[in-house]
A and B are shown apart, each in its own frame.
Chain A
Amino acid sequence: MTLPILAILLLAGSAACTNAVQSADHSATAASYGSAAVGTSVATVVAVPLVVSGGALAISGTAIQDVGTGSLRAGSDVLVGQPAPQMTLAPNGAPTLH
């Protein structure tokens, strides 16, 4: 009896089940409005991306402090023996913005 219950609990915690949630109809938010709603109003939002210059936006600067969590240093071990799927084209040069 214990095992089926355990199975149900585990299923409930699996990726498939915990992800089985639907997008909520939250209302949209604009930074300049100063508030973000996580309510349930039905939103019909039209958004047009903008190119902005730094000087045009002075809202509330936040100082950065150095605390160093190290999370960026973790991982990325070498891929020993890993095949390179879909390598059908030669790569371009290394990424650069110049």
Chain B
Amino acid sequence: MTRLMKFYAVLMIAFLPSLTTAAGSSAAGETNFPADEVATFANRVQNDLASRGVSVAIVARIGRDPAQIPDGIRYTHLGFFVYSTITLPDGSTGQGYRVYNLYQRGGEPTVSDLVQDSPAEFFAGAKRLDAGIIIPDPKLQRKLLGVINSPTYAALHNPRYAVLANPRSNQFQNSNEHVLNVLMAAIYNTGSLAQIKANITAYFDPQVVAITGLKRAFAPLASAALTTQDHGPVIATTTFGAVSRFMDSYDLTSQTYRITPTSVSRF
């Protein structure tokens, strides 16, 4: 009976690609583009950030097939690009960006880890070479750097992963919600998760994701990471667009733009 239910759940999910594809927060295993293409694009992004003197940026990638991402959502995964002194395995050092982000664990989809990787690794799992960039106000960049360098960064991680985690609750978390938590910690100079959630609830408008009740009910049978039990009647989650709108609303942003292999453009 359980197997039958799971089978039907899979069929239901098949007709709801938007739910299964909203996350895209896995570390890269297989790349969708030749390695040199990914490397060139990753360098394009970090050279662009460096040319603007950026210390900390919020960068988004498209980790899922764009045709299957729900309306209103372009990017699926956020991370912090942090300008750093990097020591390579051979002992040589240089400056570049390291990516601080949360990845869904491969063998355990309901668990996540905080991972630091390179821009090339970050984009290796992308379905399109397309980066959404938010450059915070310089003052906010300094505050973000303070949080990322502190124990608060890890303390704001909840390893219970859900694709569509509700940012107003700490019951589950996805990569974008962790970025939002860190952002709020920096804005308000606090490591109090309760205070951060209160401020998110008051000031942050998450992205509404339209899902029918039947599909919502069946989704967790296909994967526990598709749970929506932390939501009320409306499912809403943290996205690049929602974070951009929030930061723009409160004058927290220096620049928001998009980088592709051939262009740099405003939204």
Once A38-B35, A38-B39, A46-B87 are accepted as A-B contacts, the answer to whether A11 and B10 lie under 8 Å apart by CB is: yes
- Taking a contact as CB atoms under 8 Å apart, the answer to whether B258 and A69 are in contact is yes
**A22: interface (CB < 8 Å):** yes
* Closest A residue by C-beta to B33: A38
**Which label, helix, strand, loop or mixed, suits the secondary structure of the B interface?**
mixed
**B197: interface (CB < 8 Å):** yes
Chain A residues within an 8 Å CB radius of B232: 81-83, 85
- Taking a contact as CB atoms under 8 Å apart, the answer to whether B120 and A29 are in contact is yes
Once A75-B72, A85-B168, A96-B250 are accepted as A-B contacts, the answer to whether A27 and B84 lie under 8 Å apart by CB is: no
Among candidates A19, A36, A91, residue contacting B39 with C-beta atoms closer than 8 Å: A36
- Taking a contact as CB atoms under 8 Å apart, the answer to whether B13 and A10 are in contact is yes
Contact flags A44-78 to B (C-beta < 8 A → 1, else 0): 11111111111111111111111111111011110
Among candidates B52, B89, B245, residue contacting A54 with C-beta atoms closer than 8 Å: B52
- Taking a contact as CB atoms under 8 Å apart, the answer to whether B109 and A50 are in contact is no
Chain B residues within an 8 Å CB radius of A70: 267
Among candidates B21, B49, B97, B195, residue contacting A92 with C-beta atoms closer than 8 Å: B195
**B116: interface (CB < 8 Å):** yes
Among candidates B31, B46, B205, B265, residue contacting A66 with C-beta atoms closer than 8 Å: B265
Chain B residues within an 8 Å CB radius of A76: 72, 205-208, 241-242, 245
Q: Which of A78-98 contact B (CB under 8 A)?
A: 79-92, 94-97
**A16: interface (CB < 8 Å):** yes
- Taking a contact as CB atoms under 8 Å apart, the answer to whether A14 and B119 are in contact is no
- Taking a contact as CB atoms under 8 Å apart, the answer to whether A19 and B241 are in contact is no
Q: Which of B32-53 contact A (CB under 8 A)?
A: 35-36, 38-40, 42-43, 46-53
Chain A residues within an 8 Å CB radius of B103: 23
- Taking a contact as CB atoms under 8 Å apart, the answer to whether B263 and A65 are in contact is yes
In whole angstroms, what is the CA distance A43 to B91 when docked?
Answer: 11
In whole angstroms, what is the CA distance A19 to B242 when docked?
Answer: 24
Q: Which of B229-267 contact A (CB under 8 A)?
A: 230-234, 236, 239, 241-242, 244-246, 250-252, 255-258, 263-267
Once A50-B84, A91-B203 are accepted as A-B contacts, the answer to whether A27 and B118 lie under 8 Å apart by CB is: yes
What interface size band does chain B fall in? 35 or more
In whole angstroms, what is the CA distance A75 to B235 when docked?
Answer: 12
Chain A residues within an 8 Å CB radius of B246: 95
From residue B92, how far is it (CB to closest CB) to chain A in Å? 9
From residue B127, how far is it (CB to closest CB) to chain A in Å? 10
- Taking a contact as CB atoms under 8 Å apart, the answer to whether A94 and B203 are in contact is yes
Among candidates B73, B109, B166, residue contacting A19 with C-beta atoms closer than 8 Å: B109
- Taking a contact as CB atoms under 8 Å apart, the answer to whether B194 and A88 are in contact is yes
Chain A residues within an 8 Å CB radius of B27: 21-24
Once A16-B109, A74-B72 are accepted as A-B contacts, the answer to whether A65 and B265 lie under 8 Å apart by CB is: yes
From residue A36, how far is it (CB to closest CB) to chain B in Å? 4
In whole angstroms, what is the CA distance A44 to B202 when docked?
Answer: 42
Q: Which of A1-57 contact B (CB under 8 A)?
A: 3, 6-7, 10-11, 13-16, 18-24, 26-39, 41-57
In whole angstroms, what is the CA distance A11 to B166 when docked?
Answer: 25
From residue A49, how far is it (CB to closest CB) to chain B in Å? 5
Show 13 A/B contacts (Cβ-Cβ < 8 Å), sorted by A. Answer: A23-B27, A27-B118, A29-B39, A32-B95, A45-B88, A50-B85, A60-B51, A67-B263, A76-B241, A77-B208, A81-B233, A89-B195, A97-B139
Q: Using a CB–CB distance below 8 Å, which chain A residues touch chain B? A: 3, 6-7, 10-11, 13-16, 18-24, 26-39, 41-72, 74-77, 79-92, 94-97
